[in-house]
């Protein structure tokens, strides 16, 4: 049976690496993002390996998701694996200085986009009693850090939404997996630093971060364990990353 894999945010980073990983016999790919030119180039590269469809889709626009679903070719309508990957961080300012627009964009993309995609695909999975939803959250959803404010909170939503989906889907052959990557070198920091390449490069300076391929390999693996096995959540960091001691201010009472 050919599995249809729908990937959001397939134009770079984890999404693009997932497209390359799943591009093999037994799969067909639905690649979505806002940058259609990138998707078309990727599809041209992968079409020799498996069937690929691309669609411009902005997860922050409900209409974009509806028109995408309505225009899918009949043989691509039954999604077996949904990789809810589209997402972003904007800024690292402390909460009192952060831009409300940035917070709203993160919420619209990381939370509302992800639940819209899920709501659009899930009824079909339930009807067919078959499917796997993979939500990309982050270590930032579990562990606070300065400037993580709305980004981390949006990823905490994804983690709990993933667990709650499992409760609602009990009794169905539908799996839900939450993936929490740590520091990975993609376009993520460029987006977060709003195009300041120097600042973005500093994030990875003198480290060996995770690569997009590392994450794609993990995502592929969680879909290939036996059908009765559900990987609920998987947190992964590069070896060079760990936690730090509690921060304690010793000057406040001076
Ligand atoms: P990239 O910036 O390389 O990729 C992000 C992808 O999301 C792009 O393909 C982009 O496509 C897409 N995207 C952004 N906004 C929208 C939107 N409104 N509608 C549709 N697609 C959108 O970063 P990563 O690959 O690193 O990020 C992928 C996911 O992984 C994100 O959810 C991120 O939060 C998460 N993550 C990343 C980590 C890291 O260190 N890199 C660690 C932990 C989690 P386009 O612009 O073409 O629409
Ligand atoms: C991205 C990982 O640590 O930069 O979600 O927030 S981190």
pLDDT of residue 230: 98
Residues annotated catalytic, as ranges: 151
Most ligand 2 atoms within 8 A of CB, residue of 138, 191, 204 to mutate: 138
Question: HEC string of the chain?
Answer: CCEEEEEECCCCHHHHHHHHHHCCCCEEEEEEECCHHHHHHHHHHHCCCCCEEEEECCCCCHHHHHHHHHCCCHHHCCCCEEEECCCCCCCCCCCCCCCHHHHHHHHHHHHHHHHHHHHHHHHHHHHHCCEEEEEECCHHHCCCCCCCHHHHHHHHHHHHHHHHHHHHCCCCCEEEEEEEECCEECCHHHHHCCCCHHHHHHHHCCCCCEEHHHHHHHHHHHHHCCCCCCCCEEEECCCCCCCCCCCCCCCCCC
Ligand 2 centroid to 141 CA: how many Å?
Answer: 9
pLDDT of residue 69: 87
**Averaged pLDDT, 134-156:** 98
CB of 177 shorter than 6 A to ligand 1 = no
Ligand 1 centroid to 42 CA: how many Å?
Answer: 16
pLDDT of residue 254: 84
CB of 200 shorter than 6 A to ligand 1 = no
CB of 183 shorter than 6 A to ligand 2 = yes
CB of 39 shorter than 6 A to ligand 1 = no
Does the model's pTM come out above 0.75? yes
- pLDDT tens digits, 188-205: 999 999 999 999 999 999
- pLDDT tens digits, 69-127: 898 999 999 999 999 999 999 999 999 999 999 999 999 999 999 999 999 999 999 99
- pLDDT tens digits, 210-227: 999 999 999 999 999 999
The mean pLDDT of the chain is 97
- pLDDT tens digits, 7-28: 999 999 999 999 999 999 999 9
């Amino acid at each position: 049976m050919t599995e249809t894999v729908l990937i959001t945010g397939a134009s770079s980073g984890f999404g693009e690496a997932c497209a390359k990983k799943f591009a093999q016999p037994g799969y067909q790919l639905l690649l979505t993002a806002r940058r259609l030119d990138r998707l078309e180039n990727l599809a041209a590269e992968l079409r020799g390996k498996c069937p690929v469809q691309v669609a411009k889709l902005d997860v922050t626009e409900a209409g974009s998701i509806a028109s995408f679903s309505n225009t899918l070719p009949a043989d691509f309508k039954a999604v077996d694996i949904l990789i809810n990957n589209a997402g972003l961080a904007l800024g690292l300012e402390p909460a009192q200085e952060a831009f409300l627009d940035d917070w709203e964009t993160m919420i619209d993309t990381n939370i509302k986009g992800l639940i819209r995609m899920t709501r659009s695909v899930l009824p079909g999975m339930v009807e067919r009693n078959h499917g796997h939803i993979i939500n990309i959250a982050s270590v930032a959803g579990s562990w606070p850090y300065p400037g993580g404010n709305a980004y981390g909170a949006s990823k905490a939503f994804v983690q709990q939404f993933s667990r709650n989906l499992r409760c609602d889907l009990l009794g169905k052959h539908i799996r839900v997996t939450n993936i929490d990557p740590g520091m990975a070198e993609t376009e993520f920091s460029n987006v977060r630093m709003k195009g300041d390449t120097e600042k973005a490069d500093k994030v990875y300076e003198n480290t060996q971060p995770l690569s997009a391929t590392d994450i794609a390999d993990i995502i592929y693996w969680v879909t290939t364990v036996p059908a009765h096995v559900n990987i609920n959540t998987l947190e992964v960091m590069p070896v060079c990353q760990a936690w730090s001691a509690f921060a304690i201010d010793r000057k406040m009472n001076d």
